[in-house]
Amino acid sequence: MSYIALIHCDNYNPDRVEKAVRLLVDALGGIDAFVKPGQKVLLKPNLLGAYDREQRVTTDPAVVRAVAKLVLEAGGIPFIGDSPALHSFKKSAQQAGLAGVAEELKIELVELSTPRIAPVPADSVFKKIEIAAQALDADVIINLPKLKTHSQMLLTLGVKNLFGTVVGQRKGEWHYMAGVDRDTFVDLHLDIYQTVKPSLTILDGVWAMEGNGPSNGRPRHLGLIAASRDAVSLDVCICHVLGASLHSFPLYRAARKRGIGETDLQKMEFPLERPESFAVKAFEIPVRDSLGVLPEWLGWVTKRFLVSKPIHAAGFCTECGQCEKICPAAAIRVKDKKARFDYKACIRCYCCQEVCPQDAIRFKQGFLVKILKYFGK
């Protein structure tokens, strides 16, 4: 049985967030059930890059602060760590407000920068995964994701957040190897989740992001913080809350198929508030297709005519070059404030849209996604 603690929290007032986080953790057994004196505890927020907290791209510092204080109370040694997809770790932590938390509480900020081959479970799909040594060496990992949409994976919640334990430059390599097919890519996320084994996941959904997340969507106030030992069940529960289609959620399909975590809402216990009290109306979730849903007999070129593709939004580009830099397939060239795509090379991972600071990358819907939308899939 999976236990998921849900609580209303209307804003990021530090006292209010601390009270909410304490109630959540107490409902799951208290902080002493997760942290012992002297243990080194990695607090893993969503630190995608150097974004202001008001943009709702990163985990709010009030949530990180509240969890860090609980760890200190238990006698643990917390440190805040991540490996941003773009921008430097120092700049990202400063702009997101996490450097201020570290300074106030006198705890370390640690960039997850040193890759090491990790021992993976026997049932892993991927048999060789490199994880940041700083994460592998932690005694406890507390996962602190942000509730956001994701253009490739539908939602980025607890399990997806742990992709951040992969060192920065390795992320692009994984996108190229596994990112063409969402179901293959989510298998990687589940393998990382089972390898890293977070003891606790606490989700920041006070302010969330809808639309073209994880960085170019719109802030949406939900007033929710959630916690669970099982990140899979937490993610599935949030999918219910948002009114998203479970069968369109790659994590649900893969976790259910592989028997990882609890995916049946009827087998979840809610010691505080019920999911129904958080039901969200008209939460905008990206509609994307995937090369992986098409039959194998279709050729590579044919498939790419059928699926959606990134396009350049004229007038928004500042020629920063982030899309060209991050593209794992080297399919983008930026010149004269215009991104030019090599669609034969493009793997439809949407990394370009994810990192564009000006929202200058949009999508042209492919024939496949139009059919899926028509039939309500």
- pLDDT reading at 375 higher than 50: no
48 within some domain: yes
Domain end marker among 230, 247, 278:
278
90 plus 223 within the same structural domain: yes
Q: How far is CA 227 from CA 77, 102, 205, 300, 331, in A?
A: 21, 22, 11, 42, 39
Among 231, 220, 237, 233, smallest CA distance to 273 is for 237
State residue 151's pLDDT score: 82
Q: How many domains does the chain have?
A: 2
333 plus 215 within the same structural domain: no
115 plus 225 within the same structural domain: yes
- pLDDT reading at 14 higher than 50: yes
Long-range pairs, 92-97, Cβ under 8 A, ≥24:
92/47, 92/48, 92/49, 92/50, 92/51, 92/58, 93/47, 94/50, 95/50, 95/51, 95/52, 96/45, 96/47, 96/50, 96/51, 96/52, 96/53, 96/58, 96/59, 96/61, 97/53, 97/60, 97/61
CB count in 10 Å sphere of residue 122: 5
State residue 372's pLDDT score: 47
340 plus 361 within the same structural domain: yes
Domain end marker among 278, 302, 337:
278
248 plus 317 within the same structural domain: no
pLDDT digits (tens, 9 = 90+) for 60-99: 999 999 999 999 999 999 999 999 977 899 999 999 999 9
Backbone dihedral region for residue 73 (phi beyond 0: left; psi -120 to 50: alpha; all else: beta): alpha
220 plus 270 within the same structural domain: yes
State residue 29's pLDDT score: 98
Model confidence band, residue 357 (pLDDT cutoffs 50, 70, 90): confident
245 plus 341 within the same structural domain: no
State residue 179's pLDDT score: 54
201 within some domain: yes
Model confidence band, residue 295 (pLDDT cutoffs 50, 70, 90): low
CATH of the domain at 323: 3.30.70.20
Tokens matching residue 75: 């006698």
- pLDDT reading at 376 higher than 60: no
CATH of the domain at 259: 3.40.50.11440
Does the pTM surpass 0.75? The reply is: yes
286 within some domain: no
pLDDT digits (tens, 9 = 90+) for 144-199: 999 999 988 889 999 999 999 999 767 777 766 655 677 888 999 999 999 999 99
124 plus 74 within the same structural domain: yes
165 plus 197 within the same structural domain: yes
**Mean pLDDT of the residues in the chain:** 89
Among 161, 172, 195, 211, smallest CA distance to 48 is for 161
Look up the domain containing 348 and give its range: 291-374
321 plus 369 within the same structural domain: yes
9 within some domain: yes
6 within some domain: yes
- pLDDT reading at 373 higher than 50: no
Q: How far is CA 325 from CA 1, 152, 314, 318, 330, in A?
A: 44, 19, 19, 14, 8
pLDDT digits (tens, 9 = 90+) for 212-239: 899 999 999 999 999 999 999 999 999 9
pLDDT digits (tens, 9 = 90+) for 275-287: 999 999 999 998 6
209 plus 95 within the same structural domain: yes
295 plus 336 within the same structural domain: yes
